[in-house]
């Protein structure tokens, strides 16, 4: 009997696989435990990559999103850090500050403990830079949009007023005058 992997099952397992960090020949490879995705980083060491991956998830936690989407943010930070040595230094110092905050390596803290440390440094350039990169990298990712029920831009189609305003299941039912029927 031939087993068929259905598309939804593949996407669910690919997006929710656990990440493993491997160091190979000077590069860091972040890979899903099921082999569904991987990426190679050239600037960050394994600890920095792991901290950034967990940090991005703590900043914007969405259970329905797998690590693959957060890993893309880490990859973007890695590329920027490679181009800007000052940025790489800010990230290295920020990761070290996370570990110093409680005297315990940040990754060994509970998720609540990690969030408390992040709250304590939220005004730092490191925190603001990672937060900003995560907002842009996560919420501008078209692959993430469907998880939130967002259909994408409608400006090029004349807006949402007559196409899909009522489709978003997470919004309240609008008043009749807020969403009139389309002209006949």
pLDDT score of 122 more than 50: yes
DSSP for residue 179: S
Residue 108 tokens read as 């060994």
Tens of pLDDT, residue by residue over 87-119, are 999 999 999 999 999 999 999 999 999 999 999
- Residue 147, classified by CB atoms within 10 Å of its CB into exposed (0-12), middle (13-18) or buried (19+), is middle
pLDDT recorded at residue 99: 94
pLDDT score recorded for residue 146: 86
Q: What is the largest CA-CA distance in the chain?
A: 68
Residue 33's pLDDT is 57
* pLDDT at residue 51 greater than cutoff 90: yes
Q: What is the pLDDT of residue 2?
A: 41
pLDDT band per the 50, 70, 90 thresholds, residue 17: very low
Judge residue 4's burial from the number of C-beta atoms within 10 Å of its C-beta, 0-12 exposed, 13-18 middle, 19 or more buried. Answer: exposed
What pLDDT, on the 0 to 100 scale, is given for residue 148? 86
Q: How confident is the model at residue 29 (pLDDT cuts 50, 70, 90)?
A: low
Of 9-18, 67-76, 142-151, where does mean pLDDT reach its minimum?
A: 9-18
Rg of the Cα atoms in the chain? 20
Instruction: Categorize the per-residue pLDDT at 36 as very low, low, confident or very high, splitting at 50, 70 and 90.
Output: low
DSSP 173: P
Position with higher pLDDT, 50 vs 13: 50
User: Taking the alpha carbons of 92, 126, 90, 81 in that order, is the dihedral positive or negative?
Assistant: positive
At 14 the pLDDT is: 46
Other CB atoms within 10 A of residue 76 CB: 14
Q: How confident is the model at residue 15 (pLDDT cuts 50, 70, 90)?
A: very low
Question: To which H or E segment does residue 34 belong?
Answer: none
Lowest mean pLDDT segment, chosen from 29-33, 88-92, 121-125 = 29-33
pLDDT at 52: 95
């Amino acid at each position: 009997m031939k087993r068929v992997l259905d598309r939804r099952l593949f996407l669910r397992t690919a997006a929710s696989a656990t990440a493993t960090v491997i160091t190979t020949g000077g590069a860091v490879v972040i890979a899903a435990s099921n082999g569904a995705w991987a990426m190679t980083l050239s600037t960050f060491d394994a600890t920095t990559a792991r901290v950034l991956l967990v940090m991005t998830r703590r900043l914007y936690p969405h259970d329905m999103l797998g690590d693959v989407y957060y890993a893309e943010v880490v990859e973007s930070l890695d590329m920027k850090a490679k181009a800007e040595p000052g940025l790489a230094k800010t990230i290295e110092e920020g990761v070290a500050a996370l570990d110093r905050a409680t005297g315990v390596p940040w990754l060994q803290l509970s998720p609540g403990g990690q969030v408390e440390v992040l709250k304590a440094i939220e005004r730092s350039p490191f925190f603001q830079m990672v937060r900003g990169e995560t907002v842009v990298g996560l919420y501008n990712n078209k692959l993430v949009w469907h998880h939130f029920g967002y259909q994408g831009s409608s400006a090029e189609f004349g807006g949402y007023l007559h196409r899909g305003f009522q489709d978003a299941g997470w919004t309240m039912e609008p008043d009749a005058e807020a969403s009139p029927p389309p002209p006949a």
